[in-house]
Structure 1
Amino acid sequence: MPAYHSTFLAEDSQDRVIGNLSLLPIHTKYRGPAYEPSESTDGSNYDIIDEILDLFRANSFFKNFEIKGNADRLLIYGILFISDCLNKLNKFTNYKEAVRVLNNLSLDNFSLPGDIGFPLNSLYLPPKTKNEQDLLRSYLQQFRQELSDRLLKRIYKDDENVPSKYWMGFQKRRFMNKSL
């Protein structure tokens, strides 16, 4: 059975790509360069972050992933970031403590494609200029903040004192045997 790919592959336009990573629109409350997606015909607010959260558990079982476009690279980055988030939490972490931990993780200094510490340099092209590097860093920071916020809302949906065992069961899973 093949891994699930992004439904946003059709939206890969060359004007919002840095290296070979698409800067897709997201619904967010955090400041940054990401733009709001245009309203869909059915009125849904589905964006790449919702897709990453929906596909995380299914895709985390796969060791191989065929990249079909630039949106898949953002999907991979998001899945690996969720894995890091889950590894920072434990089954005794309450919601307030989890918010603090994941906010620190989101705002922490992180490697970009082309940096020495970036684990997926073979899959991602580095930014060409310093301006592209700054734009990518601010986009990924905004992306990480929104992703961790929505992840926490799903993990603590039922009880604010205990994370969902259905999410925490994926702490040890390593998508593509990689981690950020």
Structure 2
Amino acid sequence: MPAYNSIFNEDPNTPRLVGNFPLLPLRTKTRGPAYALAPSSLPPNESPDPDDESYDILDEVLALFRANTFFRNFEIQGPADRLLVYGIWFVSDCLSKIKPGADARTAQKDVMNLALDNNFAIPGDPGWPLNQMYEPPRDRQDAEQLKQYMSQVRQELATRLLARVYHDDETKPSKWWLSFTKRKFMGKAL
């Protein structure tokens, strides 16, 4: 059985690419280079339907995270899959920062520190997990734009993940999310 790929690969509008990493629109209030989609009226712990115009790649990352984490192989079928892979790796990092007994406030501090940290690798850097699948940015300006976009993705993903992990109880994280902390998608981590 193959892993689940992104539905955004079939999007007729070609996304802006830096290297071969897509800069897809996001439903976010975080400042950054991403085109902002219309806000959703749903609570933060829920995602709109995939047919909805406010459904974005980050909703898809969170929806496919648990299913895709079990796969050691992943066939990239389009640019959106590269962002999906990065999102899954980042969600894994976030979950590893949440302690099983941590309340929502403590977890938010730890996870947001990870999301706001600007010392992360981008495609082409030596610390990037799969440089053979990602092209580096052409120049310094593209690299800076990619770094800003990835920072925006990290912050928004962290916010949405925390809303899901602490949806039922503010005093302890969901065991259904934390059970995936030891799994590594494709055997790699950021």
Q: Which band: TM-score by shorter chain?
A: over 0.9
For 1:38 and 1:94, how far apart are their aligned partners in 2?
Answer: 31
**Residue 59 of structure 2: aligned partner:** 50
Q: Is the 8 A contact 1:12 1:71 kept in 2?
A: no
Q: Is the 8 A contact 2:15 2:23 kept in 1?
A: no
Between structures 1 and 2, the one with greater helix share: 1
For 1:74 and 1:142, how far apart are their aligned partners in 2?
Answer: 13
Name the SS of the counterpart of 1:54 in structure 2: helix
Q: Determine if the alignment matches structure 1 residue 125 to structure 2 residue 142.
A: no
For 2:38 and 2:9, how far apart are their aligned partners in 1?
Answer: 16
Query: What is the Cα-based RMSD across aligned positions, in Å?
Result: 1.8
Q: Is the 8 A contact 2:104 2:170 kept in 1?
A: yes
Matches within 5 A, 1:55-94: 55-94=64-103
For each residue in 1:32-57, what CA deviation from the matched residue of structure 2 results, as whole angstroms up to 9, or x when unmatched? 111123799x6552110000000000
For 1:31 and 1:139, how far apart are their aligned partners in 2?
Answer: 9
Q: Is the 8 A contact 1:12 1:70 kept in 2?
A: no
After TM superposition, give the deviation of residue 29 of structure 1 in Å.
1.2
For each residue in 1:114-170, what CA deviation from the matched residue of structure 2 results, as whole angstroms up to 9, or x when unmatched? 111111111110000111000000000000000000000000000001000000000
Name the SS of the counterpart of 1:22 in structure 2: strand
For 1:38 and 1:153, how far apart are their aligned partners in 2?
Answer: 19
Name the SS of the counterpart of 1:17 in structure 2: strand
Q: Is the 8 A contact 1:114 1:121 kept in 2?
A: yes
For 1:174 and 1:122, how far apart are their aligned partners in 2?
Answer: 19
Q: Is the 8 A contact 1:86 1:171 kept in 2?
A: yes
Paired amino acid for 1:65: F
Name the SS of the counterpart of 1:33 in structure 2: coil
Identity among equivalent positions (%) equals 53
Query: For this pair of structures, how many residues does the alignment match?
Result: 180
For each residue in 1:72-104, what CA deviation from the matched residue of structure 2 results, as whole angstroms up to 9, or x when unmatched? 000000000000001111111111111111111
**Residue 30 of structure 1: aligned partner:** 30
| Counterpart among 123, 126, 144 of residue 113 in structure 1 | 123
Go from structure 1 to structure 2 and tell me whether the alpha carbon gap of 1:160 and 1:44 turns closer, same or farther (over 3 Å shift): farther
Q: Determine if the alignment matches structure 1 residue 150 to structure 2 residue 177.
A: no
In structure 2, stretches of 5+ residues that fail to align are: 40-48
For 2:80 and 2:62, how far apart are their aligned partners in 1?
Answer: 15
Go from structure 1 to structure 2 and tell me whether the alpha carbon gap of 1:15 and 1:45 turns closer, same or farther (over 3 Å shift): closer
For 1:13 and 1:46, how far apart are their aligned partners in 2?
Answer: 15
Q: Is the 8 A contact 1:12 1:22 kept in 2?
A: no
